[in-house]
Amino acid sequence: MSDGPGRGNVAEVPPAGPLCLTGRIKVEVGGEIVADTDDVALCRCGHSGNKPYCDGSHRKVGFDDPGVILGGRLVGGGDEPADDEPVTIVCATDGPLLVRGPLTVVAADGETSEGTKGALCRCGASTTKPFCDGSHRDVGFVGG
């Protein structure tokens, strides 16, 4: 993972890999903060045996994604957040990763999306990766 553009919280989207977050990152599952870290890799293929974290399953299942922004965007952020403000990634039960706080998503081709709210795909089936399009409901994603 790199330091990303400038300072703040960054989610890198490598081709066929996990969502790589750096900055002040909190991960929430079932209403509880399960991680408060500066570096974490979250599953986006939908097959990790250690959800929401990546366990390398994307390589075993042949997850194929170019790591570019195919659609969707983060929204919000009208007021400039402090560089050290954390982002909380909320793992919606059997659904996406919900962004709550300042984040810059950086695609493999350098395209970015910045904001304070959004939904990132973690089932691997979205047609608007890395953002959620609701496909988790169609594929029966189970992810706690």
Q: Per the confidence metrics, is the pTM higher than 0.85?
A: yes
Quick check: 52 and 29 in contact, CB under 8 A? Answer: yes
What mean pLDDT comes out for the span 47-55? 97
Q: pLDDT class for 80, splitting at 50, 70, 90? A: low
pLDDT at site 66: 97
pLDDT at site 81: 57
Query: What end-to-end distance do the CA atoms of the chain give, in Å?
Result: 26
pLDDT at site 79: 65
Strand partners for 22:
10, 39
pLDDT greater than 80 at residue 1: no
Smallest Cα–Cα separation from 18: which of 67, 60, 83, 62? 67
Residue 112 and residue 126: Cα distance in Å, rounded?
Answer: 18
